[in-house]
């Protein structure tokens, strides 16, 4: 009896939900902003694009080493593995490598293998890399693709996927679709200047990146993102849909109370509600795979969405604390089962050189505080309070569902926000940091999606 009552209630709510949320092709107002220090100058903004180079110094490296040497160690609880956070016994190994074997100068050379630039937009110096194909077949035009990172990542996450997109033939892929890749740093991350004013959120960032693409001469382009990048790219599609040829995501924020309620009906009625067997494998039991998982992995989010500067002061002063705080995410966000391992499984998917290079982009730029403020700007007023959160997206969309992402998003949920979903793929493996962890899988899915858009 109770099951029938619950089902009737859910179906009744579904009818109401359908009538009240029917497709409305809205766009966000483009507006404008100024995020630099002081008042906006009366003179026109310098729109030049300036070459930039990553650099380091002996003083920078010596200071890092001295701080690592002064680390005060706290022993972990017996058998705690990664259940209490970053295991401090394994941290000793990471620090030994960082202090004695990690070659930052060599990694700086690696970072500079792609062309870096800066340009001033809305009062901020915006950093980006711009990688063009080494050769383009006759009769083929490279497709501009903007790729946006998240937290605690950086533009460096895309270094392994870029050659698969710009030079596919050299990596055993078809030359049918070749890309010109632009990877900017979110304002306040890495080499992009941080805002001096409150309010720089994902919509403002989307507008800044749209202006960047126009400044580079691109009127229509593809966009791709995960984590914050997925929201920024979604906002770009909501701001300027006529300029976005296609939107590809490997994470999406589409959770609704009604959708969560349908999961309470479990496997028994999941098929009738539009869920596949694979969806149910990744979502059920909901208590463990959604509720407990989100509580376990979202403590940092509450801190950063409320008082980011407090913890930021500690992290900006201690490279060891910064590394533990960030690298823990590269453990359990890559695979939640890694919390059962003494080393957090970090070196199963990444090298220490790769992980520490990303850490150094936060450490050497002193950008951890400003990167965390992005949570406050986007979530500090609450959830579902911004217009874009209630709007749908009306551009061709592709989605790559990686099985170890923090939360699985079924195709059914995706279509509720992205009605023009052309491609939905259950990926063979991988987690939150898709481009960094599974570059080939992600590149293949991007290429598949773009091929579908181009055929339309």
According to DSSP, the residues that pair with 144 across neighbouring strands are 180
| Active-site residue, from 116, 177, 408, 432 | 432
Out of 210, 227, 279, 335, which one is annotated catalytic? Answer: 227
Q: How far apart are CA 247 and CA 146, in angstroms?
A: 10
Q: Look at residue 274 in the predicted model and tell me its pLDDT.
A: 83
Q: Is 90 a catalytic residue?
A: no
Active site residue 248: no
Tell me if 254 sits within 8 A of 399, measured CB to CB.
no
Which pLDDT score, from 0 to 100, does residue 266 have? 63
Model pLDDT, residue 183: 99
Dist CA 369 CA 362 (whole Å): 9
Q: Please report, for residues 54, 289, 313, 368, 407, the alpha-carbon distance to residue 318 in angstroms, rounded to integers and kept in the order given.
A: 22, 34, 9, 11, 31
Catalytic residue, candidates 210, 300, 375, 424 = 375
Residues whose CB falls within 8 Å of the CB of residue 124, separated by 6 or more in sequence, listed in order:
35, 36, 187, 192, 193, 194, 195, 208
Is 408 catalytic? The answer is: no
Print pLDDT tens along the chain (456 aa): 444 444 445 455 444 444 445 567 899 999 999 999 999 999 999 999 999 999 999 999 999 999 999 999 999 999 999 999 999 999 999 999 999 999 999 999 999 999 999 999 999 999 999 999 999 998 899 999 999 999 999 999 999 999 999 999 999 999 999 999 999 999 999 999 999 999 999 999 999 999 999 999 999 999 999 999 999 999 999 999 999 999 999 999 987 656 777 776 666 666 777 899 999 999 999 889 888 898 899 999 999 999 999 999 999 999 999 999 999 999 999 999 999 999 999 999 999 999 999 999 999 999 999 999 999 999 998 888 899 999 999 999 999 999 999 999 999 999 999 999 999 999 999 999 999 999 999 999 999 999 999 998
Q: Which pLDDT score is estimated for 16?
A: 47
């Amino acid at each position: 009896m109770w099951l029938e009552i619950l089902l009737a209630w859910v179906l009744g709510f579904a009818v109401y939900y359908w009538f009240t949320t029917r497709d409305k092709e809205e766009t966000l107002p483009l507006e404008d902003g100024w995020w630099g220090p002081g008042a906006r100058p009366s003179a026109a903004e310098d729109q030049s694009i300036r070459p930039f180079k990553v650099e380091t110094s002996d003083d920078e490296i010596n200071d890092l080493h001295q701080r690592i040497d002064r680390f005060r160690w706290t022993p972990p609880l017996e058998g705690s593995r990664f259940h209490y956070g970053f295991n401090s016994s394994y941290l000793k190994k990471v620090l030994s490598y960082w202090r004695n074997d990690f070659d930052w100068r060599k990694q700086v050379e690696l970072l500079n293998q792609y062309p870096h630039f800066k340009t001033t937009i809305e009062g901020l110096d915006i950093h980006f890399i711009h990688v063009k194909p080494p050769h383009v077949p006759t009769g083929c035009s490279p497709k501009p693709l903007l790729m946006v990172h998240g937290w605690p990542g950086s533009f460096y996450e895309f270094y392994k996927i870029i050659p698969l997109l710009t030079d596919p033939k050299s990596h055993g892929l078809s030359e049918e679709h070749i890309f010109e890749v632009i990877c900017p740093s979110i304002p306040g991350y890495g080499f992009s200047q941080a805002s001096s004013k409150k309010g720089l959120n994902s919509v403002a960032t989307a507008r800044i990146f749209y202006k960047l693409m126009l400044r580079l001469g691109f009127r229509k382009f593809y966009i791709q993102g995960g984590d914050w990048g997925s929201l920024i790219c979604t906002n770009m599609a909501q701001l300027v849909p006529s300029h976005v040829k296609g939107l590809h995501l490997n994470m999406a924020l589409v959770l609704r109370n009604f959708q969560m309620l349908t999961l309470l009906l479990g496997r028994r009625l999941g098929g009738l509600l539009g869920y596949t067997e694979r969806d149910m494998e990744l979502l059920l039991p909901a208590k463990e795979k959604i509720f407990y998982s989100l509580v376990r992995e979202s403590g940092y989010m509450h801190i950063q969405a409320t008082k980011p500067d407090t913890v930021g002061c500690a992290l900006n002063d201690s490279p060891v604390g910064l590394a533990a705080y960030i690298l823990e995410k590269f453990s359990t966000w890559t695979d939640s089962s890694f919390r059962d391992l003494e080393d957090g499984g970090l070196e199963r998917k990444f090298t220490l050189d790769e992980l520490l290079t990303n850490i150094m982009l936060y450490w050497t730029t002193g950008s951890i505080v400003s990167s965390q403020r992005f949570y406050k700007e986007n979530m500090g007023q609450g959830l579902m309070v911004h217009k874009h959160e209630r709007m749908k997206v009306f551009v061709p969309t592709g989605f790559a569902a990686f099985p170890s992402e923090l939360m699985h998003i079924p195709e059914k949920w995706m279509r509720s926000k992205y009605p023009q979903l052309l491609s939905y793929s259950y990926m063979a493996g991988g987690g939150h940091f898709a481009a960094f962890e599974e570059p080939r899988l992600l590149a293949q899915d991007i290429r598949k999606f773009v091929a579908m858009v181009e055929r339309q």
